Amino acid sequence: MKKYLISTFGCQMNEHDSEKIAWILEGMGHVSTDNREEADIIIFNTCAVRKSAEDRVFGQLGELKDLKRRKPELILGLCGCMMQREDIRTYFLSKHRHIDLVFGTNNIHKLPQLLQRHMETGEVIVDIIEDTREIEENIHANRKYSYKSFVNIMYGCNNFCTYCIVPYTRGREKSREPQDIINEITELTDNGTKEVTLLGQNVNSYGKTLEFEYNFTDLLRDINKIDGLERIRFMTSHPKDLSEDLIKAYGELDKLCPHLHLPVQSGSNKVLKSMNRKYTREDYLSQIRKVRAINPNIAITTDIIVGFPGESDEDFIDTLELVKEVGYDSAFTFLYSIREGTIAAKMEEQVPEETKHKRFQQLLDTLHPIGLELNERLIGTTQDVLVEEISKNDSTVLSGRASNSKLVHFKGSEDLIGKIVKVRINNVKTFTLEGNLINMEA
């Protein structure tokens, strides 16, 4: 029996992969620890989406050099998106001789034999599979929460947005068999899960690799029939594949949460074109209008990149204008970060860092008042909140997510965690709602 520690960097896909790695290690009889000094196996599940994520992995790996010197039997493994890139793998292995094991995003299921081989030979084991068709799909997972779960519905991405490294690290799109997904969610629901988040780089193109006609909305309809399940969420959508059928589903499926995360990235058609996003601001705005016509109370969030190569002041103003026109509940905002290996990395007219930061602040100054105003409209309403945890700042306060995905704080006792309760909203901030518990059962 060994103690293992998994450090996860990046997105929900990586978080869920780490839950699978934990399940595999526990299946081998190992137990988890949060203390590096105690760990016999340390796995870094890496992210390649931005330079900052990579720098953090580099930094933390360096810190482990001394620990490895003191504990030579410690096994240090790296997996995730960075390891799918040969240039990065080679660089890591040349710089960090204390790495024992390297595997990728498509061969998590091979971890037991890779670990065994390392322990028997003492050699550095490197094993990477490029082809997503070889992914072992039905690996169980040690889910962090009993009441909510991530569920992969597909792997990879075929969109090749010019700034994005994901198609090079996660491979080609591959949809899981719908029955496998439904069986997994049924089993989770039987074990107490109330909310599932369907995961994919571009969930809207689910079904394209299946051998029969069956798309994302068909899947949502079938999941909506599962008894005991109360909420369905999904991450991430691509506007070019947002179908009329999916928009209609927001008025049809009672378990589909009234929240749509629809990354726009930019409000300028010129920039959208050079990002290879395959839609215009007009297309995007018309989809938003259609979704709101179906459900006026739906929460809309997005991703926006500031400082993409060639972005002029006018282009950026187009982004600010689009933000005002849509009126986002909130947004993930990013400074454009050069990803070696992507098309945009070679583009001329890279935007100076100073300009990027100035625009970034302008964007936040535009987004936050809109988010606050939309939250203010919820004062006096009653929200169904899935209670997730005790607030980090006050042990008498609980926090949870309303069905529109907004974070809600209210006074309550720990035994409500995992339940959906009714909370009357009486105060709001830019990113959170506050209220009083009015009913222990929604």
- If the CB atoms of residues 50 and 148 are measured against ligand SF4, the closer one turns out to be 50
Binding mask 105-144 for ligand SF4 (x = CB under 6 A): ----------------------------------------
The label of the residue with tokens 């971890």 reads 111
User: Is 264 an interacting residue with respect to ligand SF4 (CB under 6 A)?
Assistant: no
User: Is 331 an interacting residue with respect to ligand SF4 (CB under 6 A)?
Assistant: no
CA distance 311 to 73: 51
Secondary element (H or E) of residue 269 = helix 269-274
User: Is 164 an interacting residue with respect to ligand SF4 (CB under 6 A)?
Assistant: yes
CA distance 234 to 221: 13
Q: Which stretch binds ligand SF4 (CB under 6 A): 62-70, 118-126, 162-170, 225-233?
A: 162-170
User: In the complex, what is the shortest distance from the CB of residue 158 to ligand SF4, in angstroms, rounded to a whole number?
Assistant: 8
CA distance 440 to 442: 7
User: Is 305 an interacting residue with respect to ligand SF4 (CB under 6 A)?
Assistant: no
Maximal C-alpha separation, the chain: 65
User: In the complex, what is the shortest distance from the CB of residue 345 to ligand SF4, in angstroms, rounded to a whole number?
Assistant: 14
Other Cβ atoms closer than 10 A to 429: 13
Binding residue for ligand SF4, selected from 26, 28, 139, 167, defined by CB under 6 A: 167
Binding residue for ligand SF4, selected from 159, 237, 319, 403, defined by CB under 6 A: 159
Whether 108 contacts 20, CB under 8 Å: yes
- If the CB atoms of residues 160 and 431 are measured against ligand SF4, the closer one turns out to be 160
Q: How many residues bind ligand SF4 (CB under 6 A)?
A: 10
Question: What is the token pair recorded at 420?
Answer: 């959906």
- Cα 204 to chain center, whole Å? 15
352-380 exposure pattern, b = at least 16 Cβ within 10 A, e = fewer: eeeebeebbeebeebbeebbeebbeebee
User: Is 341 an interacting residue with respect to ligand SF4 (CB under 6 A)?
Assistant: no
- If the CB atoms of residues 302 and 399 are measured against ligand SF4, the closer one turns out to be 302
User: Is 332 an interacting residue with respect to ligand SF4 (CB under 6 A)?
Assistant: no
- Detail the DSSP E strand segments found in 81-194: 101-103, 125-127, 148-152, 154-155, 174-175
Binding residue for ligand SF4, selected from 42, 166, 229, 425, defined by CB under 6 A: 166
Whether 104 contacts 92, CB under 8 Å: no
Side chain identity, residue 107: N
User: Is 232 an interacting residue with respect to ligand SF4 (CB under 6 A)?
Assistant: no
CA distance 217 to 256: 11
- If the CB atoms of residues 11 and 78 are measured against ligand SF4, the closer one turns out to be 11
Binding residue for ligand SF4, selected from 76, 161, 188, 428, defined by CB under 6 A: 161
User: Is 238 an interacting residue with respect to ligand SF4 (CB under 6 A)?
Assistant: yes
- If the CB atoms of residues 6 and 157 are measured against ligand SF4, the closer one turns out to be 157
User: Is 202 an interacting residue with respect to ligand SF4 (CB under 6 A)?
Assistant: yes
Question: What is the token pair recorded at 427?
Answer: 């105060």
User: In the complex, what is the shortest distance from the CB of residue 167 to ligand SF4, in angstroms, rounded to a whole number?
Assistant: 5
Other Cβ atoms closer than 10 A to 398: 24
User: In the complex, what is the shortest distance from the CB of residue 344 to ligand SF4, in angstroms, rounded to a whole number?
Assistant: 11
- Cα 269 to chain center, whole Å? 26
- If the CB atoms of residues 3 and 278 are measured against ligand SF4, the closer one turns out to be 278
Binding residue for ligand SF4, selected from 7, 8, 84, 201, defined by CB under 6 A: 201
Q: Which stretch binds ligand SF4 (CB under 6 A): 109-117, 134-142, 161-169, 321-329?
A: 161-169
Residues that bind ligand SF4 (CB under 6 A): 157, 159-161, 164, 166-167, 201-202, 238
